[in-house]
Structure 1
Amino acid sequence: MRWIIKLDEGLARLSNLCGWVACVAMILMAANVFYDVVSRYAFNEVSIGMQEMEWHLYSVVFMLGVPYAMRTDGHVRVDVLYTKWTNKTKAWVNLIGALIFVIPFAYLIGIFGYDYTLDSYNLGESSGDPGGLSHRWIIKSVIPITAFFIAVAGLNMVTFALRVMSGEKSYEVEHSGGGLA
């Protein structure tokens, strides 16, 4: 059982890393929007590249926020039923859900996202707008990267569920603002 604890904690660290990257991207996006608004309204300057960078950063925030939300149990589900269940029932639901839905779904996203990114790279895809960003494959590569981290978070759901089933952990939310106990 000790190896499951080590694996669970290592997987949790990877998901927390995703949350950290998403947080940094959110701060950069806010700074980018601030710069864009000031340059537009104070100096009457518009940068297509900076506007495109906004949605690139938003993509990183959203996509890398998903594995973190899965780790901290912040994702959407039918909580009306879930909150009334015992920890063992929750663990079984999360275990089965991760094995049947999350990990296979992440695999499909990874396969198709990789091809999508590779096509973009091979075509030398860039923005269609003058002054836009080149190397569009860079932002598209976030798709298969996110798929990997979603699979990691799914595996983390499995290891955490096993720890809950053993009685070592619970699904009670900590009072410090979220997360798993």
Structure 2
Amino acid sequence: MPGVLRAYVRGVDRFNYRLGRFIMYGIFLMVGVLLWSSISKTFFTPSRWTLEVAQFALVGYYLLGGPYSIQLAANVRMDLFYSNWSTRTKAWVDAFTVWFLIFYLVVMIHGAIGSLAYSLGYFGDAPYGFYRDLIHAFATGGIEAAEAKLGFIERSPTAWRPYLWPVKAI
């Protein structure tokens, strides 16, 4: 491996280690937010911001702390039997169980397509037809025709009220 690449990898490892050590204490931020949420709902007026802050903090905790835990080989796994199997047995089990994963992903994508259509203002039961019509309107009439095809665009019920379709499109 070239020296420049080796130095780059070492630099990334050092950065991930320091960032992971810092993010590790983010659990206290999440506990504080959830504790305030519970206290305010019990004794005061419920806070609207706590749910979103807790969700975003948890995502940051996982995304920024993940490389640190992988670097330390401390990722959480549930391999009660898998680690004791031979490589051949693992390959056969993986070849079989990957079909369950594929089925799950197809079901999730199908649901996501319907959810995205709903957030774009389509409230019917045929989202694929809606997308076909939306693409056809855009191709033949441009942005104005596509905007006319869109219905009431869904927004978040929080105080911030962002549009939800960009999140659901991801």
Judge same fold: TM > 0.5, yes or no.
Answer: no
TM-score for the superposition, normalised by structure 1: 0.41
TM-score for the superposition, normalised by structure 2: 0.43
Select the structure of larger CA radius of gyration.
Answer: 2
Structure with the bigger RCO (C-alpha within 8 Å, sep 6+) is 1
